[in-house]
Protein backbone atom coordinates (compact mmCIF):
# COMPACT_ATOMS: atom_id res chain seq x y z
CA UNK A 1 0.00 0.00 0.00
CA UNK A 2 1.47 3.38 -0.97
CA UNK A 3 1.67 6.31 1.44
CA UNK A 4 -1.40 8.12 0.05
CA UNK A 5 -3.55 4.99 0.15
CA UNK A 6 -2.41 4.27 3.71
CA UNK A 7 -3.27 7.84 4.71
CA UNK A 8 -6.71 7.58 3.16
CA UNK A 9 -7.31 4.24 4.89
CA UNK A 10 -6.27 5.71 8.24
CA UNK A 11 -8.53 8.73 7.81
CA UNK A 12 -11.49 6.53 6.87
CA UNK A 13 -10.97 4.40 9.98
CA UNK A 14 -10.62 7.55 12.12
CA UNK A 15 -13.79 9.15 10.73
CA UNK A 16 -15.84 6.00 11.37
CA UNK A 17 -14.45 5.81 14.90
CA UNK A 18 -15.20 9.48 15.62
CA UNK A 19 -18.77 9.19 14.38
CA UNK A 20 -19.24 6.07 16.51
CA UNK A 21 -18.21 7.93 19.67
CA UNK A 22 -20.47 10.89 18.90
CA UNK A 23 -18.23 13.47 17.22
CA UNK A 24 -19.65 15.50 14.35
CA UNK A 25 -17.23 15.71 11.42
CA UNK A 26 -17.17 19.30 10.15
CA UNK A 27 -14.44 19.11 7.54
CA UNK A 28 -11.74 16.78 6.28
CA UNK A 29 -8.45 17.62 4.64
CA UNK A 30 -8.63 21.34 5.39
CA UNK A 31 -5.84 22.86 3.32
CA UNK A 32 -4.10 26.13 4.10
CA UNK A 33 -0.85 27.71 2.97
CA UNK A 34 1.22 25.79 5.54
CA UNK A 35 -0.28 22.34 5.09
CA UNK A 36 -3.39 20.36 5.94
CA UNK A 37 -5.49 19.36 8.93
CA UNK A 38 -6.80 15.83 8.52
CA UNK A 39 -10.10 16.12 10.38
CA UNK A 40 -11.96 18.97 12.06
CA UNK A 41 -14.81 17.80 14.27
CA UNK A 42 -17.09 18.86 17.08
CA UNK A 43 -16.98 17.09 20.43
CA UNK A 44 -20.07 18.64 21.96
CA UNK A 45 -19.20 22.37 21.80
CA UNK A 46 -15.42 21.95 21.35
CA UNK A 47 -13.83 22.28 17.92
CA UNK A 48 -11.29 19.49 17.65
CA UNK A 49 -8.40 19.56 15.18
CA UNK A 50 -7.32 15.97 14.60
CA UNK A 51 -4.12 14.63 13.12
CA UNK A 52 -4.41 11.02 11.94
CA UNK A 53 -1.36 8.79 11.71
CA UNK A 54 -1.62 5.27 10.32
CA UNK A 55 1.00 2.54 10.21
CA UNK A 56 0.65 -1.13 9.44
CA UNK A 57 3.57 -2.09 11.72
CA UNK A 58 6.10 -0.66 14.16
CA UNK A 59 9.09 -0.69 11.78
CA UNK A 60 9.26 3.11 12.03
CA UNK A 61 7.93 3.49 15.58
CA UNK A 62 4.48 4.35 16.84
CA UNK A 63 2.31 6.41 14.51
CA UNK A 64 1.94 9.30 16.99
CA UNK A 65 5.74 9.66 17.08
CA UNK A 66 5.46 11.24 13.62
CA UNK A 67 3.57 14.22 15.08
CA UNK A 68 6.71 16.23 15.69
CA UNK A 69 6.99 19.71 17.19
CA UNK A 70 7.18 21.09 13.65
CA UNK A 71 4.01 19.23 12.63
CA UNK A 72 2.20 20.39 15.79
CA UNK A 73 3.15 24.00 15.00
CA UNK A 74 1.77 23.62 11.47
CA UNK A 75 -1.51 22.19 12.80
CA UNK A 76 -1.87 25.08 15.26
CA UNK A 77 -1.29 27.56 12.42
CA UNK A 78 -3.94 25.77 10.37
CA UNK A 79 -6.36 25.93 13.29
CA UNK A 80 -5.78 29.68 13.52
CA UNK A 81 -6.60 30.02 9.82
CA UNK A 82 -9.72 27.88 10.16
CA UNK A 83 -10.85 29.82 13.24
CA UNK A 84 -10.49 33.14 11.42
CA UNK A 85 -12.35 31.97 8.33
CA UNK A 86 -15.21 30.49 10.35
CA UNK A 87 -15.34 33.14 13.11
CA UNK A 88 -14.39 30.72 15.89
CA UNK A 89 -11.69 32.81 17.55
CA UNK A 90 -13.33 32.62 20.99
CA UNK A 91 -14.71 29.08 20.68
CA UNK A 92 -13.17 26.29 22.75
CA UNK A 93 -10.74 24.15 20.79
CA UNK A 94 -8.57 21.09 21.26
CA UNK A 95 -5.84 19.22 19.38
CA UNK A 96 -6.13 15.42 19.25
CA UNK A 97 -4.07 12.73 17.57
CA UNK A 98 -5.52 9.46 16.40
CA UNK A 99 -2.89 6.84 15.80
CA UNK A 100 -3.86 3.67 14.02
CA UNK A 101 -1.60 0.64 14.09
CA UNK A 102 -3.07 -1.95 11.76
CA UNK A 103 -6.69 -2.03 12.97
CA UNK A 104 -5.98 -0.79 16.51
CA UNK A 105 -7.03 2.79 17.31
CA UNK A 106 -5.45 4.95 19.99
CA UNK A 107 -7.22 8.30 20.41
CA UNK A 108 -4.98 10.75 22.23
CA UNK A 109 -7.31 13.46 23.50
CA UNK A 110 -5.68 16.88 24.04
CA UNK A 111 -2.43 15.52 22.64
CA UNK A 112 -0.89 19.00 22.55
CA UNK A 113 -1.77 22.64 23.13
CA UNK A 114 -1.62 25.71 20.95
Rounded Cα gap, residues 97 and 110, in angstroms = 8
pTM to 2 decimal places = 0.93
Per-residue DSSP letters for 8-42? HHHHHHHHHHHHHTT-EEEEEEEEETTEEEEEEEE
pLDDT for the residue numbered 82: 97
- What is the tens place of the pLDDT at every residue in 80-107? 999 999 999 899 999 999 999 988 999 9
pLDDT for the residue numbered 51: 98
- Length of the chain, in residues: 114
Mean pLDDT of the chain: 93
Amino acid sequence: MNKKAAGNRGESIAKAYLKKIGYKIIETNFRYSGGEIDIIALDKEVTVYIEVKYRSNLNFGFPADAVTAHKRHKIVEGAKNYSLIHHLANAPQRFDVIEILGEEINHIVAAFEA
